[in-house]
Amino acid sequence: MTGVVDPVGPLRSSEEITTGFPVAGAPRFESIDAVRQGLAGVDYLADDGISGVVFLADRLAKPVLVEGPAGTGKTELAKSVARLTGSRLIRLQCYEGLDESKALYEWNYKKQLLRIQADSGQSWEELEDNIFSEEFLLTRPLLEAIRSPEPVVLLVDEVDRVELETEALLLEILSEYQVSIPELGTVRATQIPLVFLTSNNTRELSEALKRRCLYLHIDYPKLDRERAIIETRVPGISQSLADQVARIVRSIRTLDLKKDPSVSETLDWARTLVVLGVESIDVEQARDTLHILLKYQTDIERAAKELAGVESPD
Amino acid sequence: MLDLLTGFVGELRAAGIPVSLTEHLDAAEAMRHVPIEDREALKYTLGASLVKSSAHWRAYETAFEIYFSLRGPEYRIDGDQDGAGELETDDAGRMNGQGRQQGQGRGRGSGGGEGMTPEELADLLYKALLGANDAMVAAVARQAVTRYAGMEAGRPVGGTYYLYRTLRNLDLDGVLERLMSEARSSTRALNDDLSTSAEAPPVTLTSLEERLLRDEFQARIDQLRAEIENEIRRRLVADRGSEALAKSLRKPLPEDIDVMHATRDELVALRKALVPLSRKLAVRLARKRRHGRKGPLDFRSTVRHSLSTGGVPVDPKFRYPRPSKPEIVVIADISGSVASFARFTLHLVHAISSQFSKVRSFVFIDGIDEVSRFFDRVDDPTDAVQRINTEADVIWVDGHSDYGHAFTVFWERWGEEITPRSSVLLLGDARNNYHASQAWVIKELRARARHVYWLNPEPRAYWNSGDSIVGEYAVHCDDVVECRTLRQLEQFVGNLA
């Protein structure tokens, strides 16, 4: 067992008791700019908001709740931070019906049964102590993240999919970085992991959860940033084409569509154009490939009509 | 600095953003780690700890700009350094003073100087927009505010007044057209060059390129507008101090915007807020229906299960709950004054139509028409609401609201179909243009239907003033509800289902 297990109850350092904040480990980042450059080094182009919040999350030892439309790079952010800091990425994909035994830990019943059958000479007290030990504990992502001796980035993906009641599972680990197991005691983290929670905002998260997190809203990028993203993520794209793609996507986003094209769809589109050997987009090509960018038939028709445009007055 | 933060948090709470004590502590902690001189970083880090919903970001941003605005001598409204005799001097003198100071302070020789003519300023603006030169745009914004807004120290006018004055003088639409025609002619010139030199295919601005160019310029103009707004705000802060200003510039949260008096931008924000709102409401109602109550005692099942415990009914069984879903009939006034409110309500009711056994909608001005068909087999109510505007047949005589006539026709044509399972929602301000009220229809409806509610988007204080006759209808309704914001609307619909 690598995590600190304290059967009596969580002991805290004096600093933690006085301030009430979990004590952050050695800072991972020098400054906000260092975060931005580091992320750019792993091909993630962060804006002021993103890099600022990541920096702060490390300093304050707080989880980050990332919200925003689908496909704007929420999950990618967690992955990139893991790459940047050289940490292991532990991912918990949320879904309706997720429970303790899948998120936190579970006792290995079969092994416990075998243990009881295999050894008959022991008294019950000895046996009981024995079968509720770490040997019989199956760790699930959340416990795994705080027990891990090496640095970890924990990604709790699509947290809005679990029921309101299940959110409570997360609260202890998010604020104290510890897990209480009734039979065993409290497992505290040896190192504070960086935690990212993503949400597509399909329902309002509980106040308790929000209060414990820093909040980051990632929206569609501005023109310049989107162009830069296309250039870094699509190999072999010419600058003029990247510029054109970014501008067309911006124009499409100003239309009132059911689903705006996301960054990942923009990248797919740019890749397609590169593969097709397109140097500069005209209306025909745009119309033929729009289905990569947009996923609703009505949206496609609408955008095609808009892009073809009304003829200019002169 | 802590005092400033406390004041700032107070302002956020006053604006309706819930900020808990822990979040306040977090923000204070965050400020220790971020260089104070990096304003953008400060804005995002404070935002990350204080604001926990993207819908609240706009309100937060406004408050931040006010509380942590750039301050300095160049933002004083009375640009003259001598100060005292300033208010007596004429406008021109003030503008020169300001201009000179800017020229010195910022080293922007071309923009500063001894006051420019309007033509020079327009020209500069045009160049700044064409070249996408951010610094120049900012400088132009400053100049324009100095020149056109006519700001006076201590004058109790809102920022929008100054903004309007500045924008009117700049004529941004005209600028956009000029930019476009310039772009067109430059391609044409290029074209001429090419055709004389070689056999190259003619280069024309395709409609696609034209569209992109227009969007590009539009974005730059929006940037200019934002810049002007910032500039005005900065000067107002310098004049009046943050707290006084925060109160007058406070932007309501989307759910608190008064639907009837929303500006265009606010309507966009409202529309954006409506989609997640209806989705959340549907989830909440479905959950309420699933859990919550139990059905009546299932006697037979209880007795059968009691056999395993020797005939003692230890574990009572209940019937599966089948709460009946209400049937909704919406009758909405869509005349100009209350149109947007009706649209939002129809949108919301249809978005959660799965929570009702049936939804029927009718719209009227002085004629009345059923519009339920537009919502059939449509995933997204937005399209349907659009179609109502264009296709519904609601004009009878002159297109002024006539509640009495609309209700009478409704009673004649559809009155039979109202059953004791129906809840009737009437939407409108009951401003009847002095026609007959025909309130007996509501009385008849009340006798047939389960409930009759009236939703009025006007503030309660205005009811029954002028040609509003909501009181005449109110006596026959179960309840008349003031419903001016999305929050109130959500609450009402939530209680209904």
Q: What is the CATH number of the domain that holds A176?
A: 3.40.50.300
Mean pLDDT of B378-398: 70
Paired tokens of B16? 């309706």
CB contact under 8 A, B44 and A281: no
Lowest mean pLDDT of A185-194, A229-238, B15-24, B250-259, name the range.
Answer: B250-259
Structure-token match 């260092």, residue found: A34
User: Are A41 and A73 in the same domain?
Assistant: yes
User: Are A63 and A161 in the same domain?
Assistant: yes
B chain contacts of residue A59, beta-carbon cutoff 8 Å: 30, 33
Question: Which chain A residue shows the shortest CA-CA distance from B24?
Answer: A211
Q: Does residue B429 register a pLDDT over 50?
A: yes
A chain contacts of residue B44, beta-carbon cutoff 8 Å: 48-49, 52-53
Q: Is A257 on the interface with B (CB under 8 A)?
A: no
Q: What are the percentages of helix, strand and coil residues in chain A, rounded to 5?
A: 50, 15, 40
Mean pLDDT of A6-34: 60
pLDDT higher at B222 or B109 = B222
Q: Flag whether A120 is in a domain.
A: no
Determine which of A60, A166, A220, A256 to mutate to test the interface with B (most B C-beta atoms within 10 Å): A60
Q: Which one of A168, A192, A217 terminates a domain? A: A217
pLDDT tens-place string over residues A121-158: 777 777 777 788 888 888 888 888 888 888 899 999 98
pLDDT tens-place string over residues A86-111: 899 999 998 887 888 888 888 888 88
Residue ranges of the domains in chain B?
Answer: 2-68, 73-241, 270-292+324-496, 297-323
Domain hosting A271: range is: 223-306
Lowest mean pLDDT of A154-163, A299-308, B171-180, B450-459, name the range.
Answer: B171-180
Q: Does residue B34 register a pLDDT over 80?
A: yes
Whole-number percent of chain B with pLDDT over 90: 0
Mean pLDDT of B189-209: 53
Lowest mean pLDDT of A62-76, A162-176, B209-223, name the range.
Answer: B209-223
Question: Which chain A residue shows the shortest CA-CA distance from B21?
Answer: A211
Q: Does residue B170 register a pLDDT over 50?
A: yes
Q: Is B45 on the interface with A (CB under 8 A)?
A: yes
Distance between CA atoms of residues A138 and A142, nearest Å: 11
User: Are A81 and A190 in the same domain?
Assistant: yes
Q: Which one of A217, A235, A266 terminates a domain? A: A217
Highest mean pLDDT among B83-97, B317-331, B379-393, B461-475: B461-475
User: Are A35 and A64 in the same domain?
Assistant: yes
Q: Is the dihedral of CA A69, A70, A73, A77 positive or negative?
A: positive
Residue-level pLDDT at B104: 38
Q: Give the H/E segment covering residue A156.
A: strand A152-157
Q: Flag whether A39 is in a domain.
A: yes
CA A172 vs. chain centroid, Å, equals 19
Q: φ and ψ at B455, to 5 degrees?
A: -105, 120
User: Are A178 and A289 in the same domain?
Assistant: no
CB contact under 8 A, B41 and A310: no
The alpha-carbon gap from A218 to the nearest alpha carbon of chain B, in Å, equals 9
Q: What's the topology of domain B270-292+324-496? A: Rossmann fold (3.40.50)
Q: Is B48 on the interface with A (CB under 8 A)?
A: yes
Lowest mean pLDDT of A46-55, A298-307, B161-170, B453-462, name the range.
Answer: B161-170
pLDDT band at B131 (very low <50, low <70, confident <90, very high): low
Q: Does residue B94 register a pLDDT over 80?
A: no
Residue-level pLDDT at A24: 63
Q: Does residue B389 register a pLDDT over 60?
A: yes
Q: Are strands B451-456 and B422-427 parallel, antiparallel or unpaired?
A: parallel
Residue-level pLDDT at B285: 67
Contacts of B70 by beta carbon, 8 Å cutoff, 6+ apart: B39, B234
User: Are A278 and A181 in the same domain?
Assistant: no
The answer to whether B267 and B480 have CB atoms below 8 angstroms apart is no
Residue-level pLDDT at B324: 64
Residue-level pLDDT at A240: 86
User: Are A211 and A239 in the same domain?
Assistant: no
Whole-number percent of chain B with pLDDT over 70: 70
Structure-token match 């502590």, residue found: B25
User: Are A241 and A208 in the same domain?
Assistant: no
Of B30, B207, B219, the CB nearest to A312: B207
Highest mean pLDDT among A41-45, B312-316, B492-496: A41-45
Q: Does residue A197 register a pLDDT over 90?
A: yes
Residue B83: other Cβ atoms inside 10 A: 10
Lowest mean pLDDT of B33-37, B133-137, B153-157, B377-381, name the range.
Answer: B153-157
User: Are A188 and A230 in the same domain?
Assistant: no
Q: Is the dihedral of CA B252, B256, B261, B264 positive or negative?
A: positive
pLDDT higher at B98 or A54 = A54
What is chain A's mean pLDDT, rounded?
A: 82
Mean pLDDT of A6-20: 46
Question: Which chain A residue shows the shortest CA-CA distance from B287?
Answer: A163
Torsion, Cα of B285, B286, B291, B295 (10° steps): 90
Amino acid at A249: V
Q: Does residue B493 register a pLDDT over 50?
A: yes
Q: Does residue A1 register a pLDDT over 80?
A: no
User: Are A150 and A274 in the same domain?
Assistant: no
Residue-level pLDDT at A310: 47
Q: Flag whether A21 is in a domain.
A: yes
Q: Does residue B336 register a pLDDT over 70?
A: yes
Question: Which chain A residue shows the shortest CA-CA distance from B284?
Answer: A203
CB contact under 8 A, B29 and A21: yes
Domain count, chain A: 2
Q: Give the H/E segment covering residue B455.
A: strand B451-456
Q: Does residue A75 register a pLDDT over 60?
A: yes
Determine which of A54, A67, A214, A224 to mutate to test the interface with B (most B C-beta atoms within 10 Å): A214
CB contact under 8 A, A56 and B52: no
SS3 at position B161:
helix
SS3 at position B201:
coil
pLDDT band at B369 (very low <50, low <70, confident <90, very high): confident
- Reference A244, options A261, A223, A263; nearest CA is A223
Mean pLDDT of A229-235: 88
Residue-level pLDDT at B178: 74
User: Are A90 and A172 in the same domain?
Assistant: yes
Q: Which one of A217, A244, A265 terminates a domain? A: A217
Mean pLDDT of A232-248: 87
Residue-level pLDDT at B387: 75
Determine which of B24, B32, B45 to mutate to test the interface with A (most A C-beta atoms within 10 Å): B45
User: Are A81 and A150 in the same domain?
Assistant: yes
Highest mean pLDDT among A169-173, B240-244, B250-254: A169-173
Structure-token match 């023109």, residue found: A223
Residue-level pLDDT at B188: 62
pLDDT band at A82 (very low <50, low <70, confident <90, very high): very high
